Structure 1
Amino acid sequence: MSAPVPAARTALVTGASRGIGAALARSLAAAGLDVALLARDADRLTGVAAEVEAAGRRAVALAADVTDRVAVEAAVNEAEFALGSIDLLVNNAGLVDTEVPLWEADPEEFARVLTTNVYGPFLLARAVVPGMLARGGGRVVDLSSGSGTRDSPVMPGYNTSKTALFRIGGGLHAAGFDRGLRAFEVAPGVVATDMSTGMAMHADRTDWTPPEAVGELVAAIAAGDLDPLSGCYLRAGTDTLAALRERAAAGPPAGRRLVVTDWDSPS
Structure 2
Amino acid sequence: MSVIAIVGAGSLLGRAIATRFAAEGLDVALIARDRDALDAIAAGITGVRVGVFPADITDRAALTRALADAEEQLGPIEVLEFSPTPRPADLAAAPFTDAADTSVESLAPHIELHLYGSVAAVQQVLPGMIARGSGTILLTAGAVSSRMIVPQIANVSIAVTALRSYALNLHAGLAGTGVHAAHVSIAANIGQGRAGSAPDVIAEQYWSAHTDRTEADIYYHDLDDSPVRLSDRYTAPSR
Query: TM-score interval w.r.t. the shorter chain?
Result: 0.7 to 0.9
SS in 2 for 1:140: strand
If you compute each CA radius of gyration, which structure gives the higher value, 1 or 2?
1
SS in 2 for 1:63: coil
* Offset at residue 88 of structure 1 (A): 0.4
TM-score (norm 2): 0.83
* Offset at residue 131 of structure 1 (A): 0.9
* Offset at residue 105 of structure 1 (A): 4.9
Q: How many aligned positions are there?
A: 228
Whether the 8 Å contact between 1:186 and 1:236 is mirrored in structure 2 is no
Cα distance in 2, alignment partners of residues 239 and 169 from structure 1: 24
User: Where does structure 2 lack aligned partners over 5 or more consecutive residues?
Assistant: none
Give the aligned partner of residue 207 of structure 2. 219
Determine if the alignment matches structure 1 residue 58 to structure 2 residue 43.
no
Cα distance in 1, alignment partners of residues 62 and 221 from structure 2: 31
> For residue 68 of structure 1, what is the amino acid of its counterpart?
D
Give the aligned partner of residue 9 of structure 2. 16
**Partner residue of 1:48 out of 41, 46, 67:** 41
1:70-121 Cα distance to aligned partner (Å, 9 max, x none):
2122111111112211000001113366454133457644321221111111
CA shift in 2, pair 1:174/1:106, >3 Å: closer
Cα distance in 2, alignment partners of residues 85 and 75 from structure 1: 13
* Offset at residue 208 of structure 1 (A): 6.6
CA shift in 2, pair 1:147/1:17, >3 Å: closer
CA shift in 2, pair 1:162/1:83, >3 Å: same
1:111-148 Cα distance to aligned partner (Å, 9 max, x none):
21221111111110111111111111200001123212
> For residue 218 of structure 1, what is the amino acid of its counterpart?
Y
* Offset at residue 189 of structure 1 (A): 2.6
Give the aligned partner of residue 214 of structure 2. 228
Give the aligned partner of residue 112 of structure 1. 109
* Offset at residue 12 of structure 1 (A): 0.3
Give the aligned partner of residue 93 of structure 1. 84
Determine if the alignment matches structure 1 residue 131 to structure 2 residue 128.
yes
- Aligned pairs for 1:1-267 within 5 A: 9-52=2-45, 55-95=46-86, 98-105=95-102, 108-149=105-146, 150-192=148-190, 209-222=197-210, 224=211, 226-229=212-215, 231-235=216-220, 237=222, 240=226, 254-256=232-234
1:216-255 Cα distance to aligned partner (Å, 9 max, x none):
0112223x2x2122x22342546747x87xx9xxxxx541
> For residue 15 of structure 1, what is the amino acid of its counterpart?
G
What is the Cα-based RMSD across aligned positions, in Å? 2.8
Q: Calculate percent identity across the aligned residue pairs.
A: 26
* Offset at residue 56 of structure 1 (A): 0.7
TM-score (norm 1): 0.75
SS in 1 for 2:187: coil
> For residue 30 of structure 1, what is the amino acid of its counterpart?
A
Cα distance in 1, alignment partners of residues 60 and 99 from structure 2: 29
Cα distance in 2, alignment partners of residues 142 and 56 from structure 1: 26
Q: Which has the higher strand share?
A: 2
CA shift in 2, pair 1:208/1:254, >3 Å: closer
> For residue 38 of structure 1, what is the amino acid of its counterpart?
I
User: Where does structure 1 lack aligned partners over 5 or more consecutive residues?
Assistant: 1-7, 198-204, 248-252, 259-267
